[in-house]
Structure 1
Amino acid sequence: MESEQTAELIRAQLRRLRLAAGMTQEDFGRLVHFSGSQISAIELGQRPFDRLFLKRADEVLDSDGLLLGLLRIAELHGQPSWLRPWLDAERAARQLRCYHPTLVPGLLQIEHYARAVIRADDLLSDDEVERRLAVRMDRQAILTRPDPPMLIAVIEETTLRRADESFRGIMLQQINHLLDCVKRGGVLVHLIPAEVSVHVGHAGPLTLARGVEGEWVGHLENHVGGATIDENEEMATVLARWEGIRSVALPKAQSELLMKEVMDSWTI
């Protein structure tokens, strides 16, 4: 679905919902803190809308998230072609395994941490940063659905400790989020201790998805995109790399203690 077609659909649904609720543009505008003329301009396509406006509109019109949902679907469909096969595998997965040599994996990032990571790319505009952030946060919904996949994440201890004083508050929130995810269940986090100097995972980030029939799909990232792997021979190599990464990580309980130790070292 093209972006302009999606925008037109959202505008049409906005007008339909407003009229069904018996509201004039002025009535609706007051409730979402816009003027009637601004609502008219949005419905006619003369003024852009953003996520905050659609969220307010959904609340006022009691539309069960329809407008924001349409935007989310459009954003996912608007992802680059190299990423779409992986997004399909991610949504259908019964188990996910992820590792990144320098970052907390995206599915476990809090909003402030994710925004900082995305904003580190100086080539992105503020609008593009927020768009990518929204997509990343939306992808995390698979972890809270009724039948979530099991997620196993391996994270470097050095990744959690890489925080100067200005970033430490965000990292404390991030580590707390990791611990909360583990406590809720369905998520396992294993840390690779800092004393492990070299291992096979340093070659780059990887994520694995296991489907309902036991089939594996892999995703490898790089600076200009990524590749989805599903051929048997290549998958055998990626799975072996995962086992090499997992073998140098700490067990669950020790990893939790180490995460708490990292936080304590900043707060004592």
Structure 2
Amino acid sequence: MHYSNKHVSAVENGLKPPKPDFLRAVDVALDTDGLLLNLWEDLVRDSGAPVWFRDWIQVEREAVSLCWYEMAVVPGLLQTEAYARAIFASGGLLKADEIERRLGARVARQDVLTRENAPQFVAVLDESLLRRAVGGPAVMREQLFHLLDLSNALPHVRLHVVPSMAGAYAGLSGPFVLATLAGGDDVAYLDNQYRGQVVDDPSALIWLRQAWESIRGEALPYGQSAKLIMEVAEQWN
């Protein structure tokens, strides 16, 4: 399988979450015709995510479009493993095994952007998060180049940056995500310090849609945003 005994033991004992590449290798080695990977799809994939977050993961999978605004950190669907690990480890609030479980769940969620019939994904990022040293310069450099690679490789992914010169704008009230489902219904996700909240109240959705339009209006066009991300990435040495 080309995995160490230590890695296999950690998965078997629940200390490390199994990832798709690992399970594919096990299926080949044991000639189980994709059984373990199918089990992961049905049972394991979301087990590392907090229980209260799993409803939103299902919304992400069903969405035809995602509009994501962040002011503090890179959106989870766009994070590298190193960046995500640094986020989970910050503050010392989570134990090492919980960090790995949540990391596995976050990486698994990212398949939504590369699957067949992936949703249209538009992210608006505050410039400050490009300059926040999460995990150190090497991690930030890798993360920002990863953003550029994704937007170049995936035509349905578009990134925009609100420059610091914008001053006060609607996004300073906090991050959120708007998902549009196949039937045309919208669902939102609001994040906070303790736990996130899935929102489907019509009045709240109208407010968030207006906030999105206002925030999007402050952001740089796609090309200028990519140029700014590149400039900041090259400064992380």
TM-score interval w.r.t. the shorter chain? Answer: 0.7 to 0.9
Contact 2:124 2:219 in 1 (8 A): yes
Q: Which residue of 2 aligns with 1:67?
A: 36
- Which of 86, 91, 94 is the aligned partner of 1:116? 86
Identity %: 38
Paired with 2:204 and 2:100, the residues of 1 have a C-alpha distance of 34
Q: Which residue of 1 aligns with 2:229?
A: 259
- Which of 210, 229, 234 is the aligned partner of 1:240? 210
Q: Which residue of 2 aligns with 1:180?
A: 149
Unaligned runs of 5+ in 2: none
Q: Which residue of 1 aligns with 2:139?
A: 170
Instruction: Tell me the SS of whatever aligns to 1:155.
Output: strand
Using CA pairs below 8 Å that are at least 6 residues apart, which structure has the higher relative contact order?
2
Contact 1:32 1:60 in 2 (8 A): no
Following superposition, the deviation at residue 79 of structure 1 comes to: 4.3
Contact 2:48 2:105 in 1 (8 A): no
Q: Which residue of 2 aligns with 1:94?
A: 64
Contact 2:159 2:222 in 1 (8 A): yes
Contact 1:209 1:217 in 2 (8 A): yes
Q: In structure 1, what residue type is equivalent to 2:13? A: P
Paired with 2:103 and 2:131, the residues of 1 have a C-alpha distance of 23
Contact 1:182 1:188 in 2 (8 A): yes
**Structure 1 length-normalised TM:** 0.76
Instruction: Tell me the SS of whatever aligns to 1:158.
Output: helix
**Structure 2 length-normalised TM:** 0.85
Residue correspondences, number: 229
Contact 2:70 2:124 in 1 (8 A): yes
Following superposition, the deviation at residue 157 of structure 1 comes to: 1.4
Q: In structure 2, what residue type is equivalent to 1:130? A: E
CA deviation profile, 1:201-242 (whole Å, cap 9, x unmatched): 121110111111211100001111111111211100111111
Q: In structure 2, what residue type is equivalent to 1:111? A: E
Following superposition, the deviation at residue 54 of structure 1 comes to: 4.9
Q: Which residue of 1 aligns with 2:108?
A: 138
2:121 counterpart of 1:156: no
Whose Rg is larger? Answer: 1
Q: In structure 2, what residue type is equivalent to 1:250? A: L
Q: Which residue of 2 aligns with 1:125?
A: 95
Paired with 2:173 and 2:23, the residues of 1 have a C-alpha distance of 42
Contact 1:32 1:57 in 2 (8 A): no
Following superposition, the deviation at residue 65 of structure 1 comes to: 5.0
Following superposition, the deviation at residue 80 of structure 1 comes to: 4.2
The CA RMSD over aligned residues, in Å, is 2.8
Paired with 1:84 and 1:111, the residues of 2 have a C-alpha distance of 20
Instruction: Tell me the SS of whatever aligns to 2:69.
Output: strand
2:165 counterpart of 1:195: yes
Following superposition, the deviation at residue 75 of structure 1 comes to: 4.6
Paired with 1:190 and 1:64, the residues of 2 have a C-alpha distance of 42
